Every structure is written in structure tokens, then in C-alpha cells.
Amino acid sequence: MILSVLAPELEPAAETFPLNLLRSLFGEGVEGATTTVEILLLLTVLTLVPSILILMTSFTRTVIVLSFTRNAMGTQQMPPNQVIIGLALFLTYFTMYGALSRIYDEAWIPYQEESIDLDEAYKKAVDPLRDFMFEQIFGQKHDKDLETFMGLAGMEQRPYSADDLDEIPTYVLIPAFITSEIKTALRMGFYIFIPFIVIDMIVASALMSMGMMMLPPAMISLPFKLMLFVLVNGWDLVVQGIVKSFTG
């Protein structure tokens, strides 16, 4: 009811930026929507903006690798989830600083100065994120993921060069980037697990040779894993590995 009353007031804005935002995310399927439906869809999209932005940045890979590190040490919930997520957010800000600066300089400031309209500001804000996602997909050699989603979208599956990446819509690029990030994070997690598994095997073999089969190996190996992690400055190595995986 409220939206029906407000629809005439919001109609000019709803015909430009909201519809373009919905088209970029969901394709041309929303072309024939009425103004009220467009507003409802826009409000739904706005509630998903935090998740969308998190999945379009380095956060996904970072938080998965940090979670793998905690699981490999076997420390259960230490560090707690709040610390892991907080560290992942700050590392995301660190690795995405260049793209965020471009968005601020090229989109936000000109829009505030009214030198560009909202549609152009949206395009200038999305371009740095698209460049980042393309760089990670091709840098990690996961262009097959991009071709897969292009095929699912009914597009031609062919290798794309740097000159024709604009032909790939954002709604195809985002899921390809997410699956690429998950693959990269799983590969990094595998390498992190290896030294801790070696310690578990050594401790389990030692306990079995001494006939202490009833003593849980994880209880004995945990202090050794923590000591090894501290001695090699493990968090520093993990953070360096995460950051360098984005910067190359």
C-alpha cells in the first residue's frame, strides 16, 4: 500500500538506476516489470548488497583460508569466528584498497559534485570490481569457470582477450569469480594442512609404538602444532600468502 502511494514520487528514479542495477545483476528479464515491482525488487537487492559486495571482493578466499588454518591447528573455536571474520574484513580492505580508491575517485566524488549522473556513477563503480574479478580469474588460470557460466547463460563459449571482456555481463562474471575463489582457497588450504598432518602422524606413531593407543593423539599433538606455528611465525606466513595470492 505504501509503495503504491510512493510509486509516482519514485518513478523517475526507478526508471534509470534501479532498473539498470537489476539488469546488470539478473539480465534483461526484468525489462517489463512495473514501477512498483521494480521498487520491490530494488529493495530486495539492497538487502543483499553486503553479501554481493563480500562475494565480489577478496573476502571469500581470505576467510576460507583463515578458517582452514584454524581447523588445521585443531584449536576448535580459537581464534573465535568474530576474530577470523574481523581479520578477513581488514585483509579484504587492504587487498582491495586500489579498487576502492578508484571507486571513490572515479564514481563517488564526481557523483557528489554532480558532474556525472547515478547511472554513470554505478558503471564507474562496477568497473574496478570487474577488473579485479577478471584479474583473479585469469591470474589463477580459472578461465574455464568463466566459460562454463557463459555456456549456462547461452553465450558463446570461447576464450576472451583483454579487449573484449566488456562483452561478458556482470551476472555471468560474479558466479564464475566465486567458484574460482573457492577453488583457489581450497588449494591453499591443502598446502596449509600438510605440515599439521605430518605432526599428527608422527605423534600417533610415537604413541602407538609406546602402547598408548587409548590416549587421543590430537591431545598430544596440539601443543606441538601450536609451538611450530608460533616458532615459524605462522600467522605472518598465512597473511603474506593470502595477500600475495591477490597481488601476484
Confidence of residue 153 (pLDDT cuts 50, 70, 90): confident
Mean pLDDT of 99-106: 84
Distance CA 60, CA 181 (A): 7
| CB proximity list for 20: less than 8 A, separation 6 or greater | 119, 122
- DSSP assignment of 153-197 equals TT-------TTSGGGS-HHHHHHHHHHHHHHHHHHHHHHHHHHHH
Which pLDDT does position 38 carry in this prediction? Answer: 60
Q: Is the bond leading into 80 cis (omega within 30 degrees of zero)? A: no
Which of 148, 135, 157, 139 is CA-nearest to residue 179? Answer: 148
21 and 42 Cβ atoms separated by less than 8 Å: yes
Q: In Å, what is the CA distance from 210 to each residue of 140, 155, 197, 198?
A: 46, 63, 20, 19
In this structure, what is the dihedral angle of CA atoms 80, 81, 83, 89, given to the nearest 10 degrees? 170
> Quick one: cell of 70?
584454524
The Cβ of residue 60 has, within 10 Å, a number of other Cβ atoms equal to 21
Cα–Cα distance, 67 to 84 (Å, whole number): 7
Maximal C-alpha separation, the chain:
81
DSSP 16: T
pLDDT band of residue 11 (cuts 50, 70, 90) is very low
DSSP state of 150: H
Which pLDDT score, from 0 to 100, does residue 13 have? Answer: 42
pLDDT digits (tens, 9 = 90+) for 131-145: 888 888 876 677 777
Pick from 173, 144, 142, 139: nearest CA to 245:
139
**Stated pTM of the model:** 0.72
Predicted local confidence at residue 51, as pLDDT: 77
- What is the residue extent of each domain of the chain? 1-51, 56-247
SS3 annotation, 200-244: HHHHHHHHHHCCCCCCCHHHHHHHHHHHHHHHCCHHHHHHHHHHH
More confident residue, 54 or 208: 54
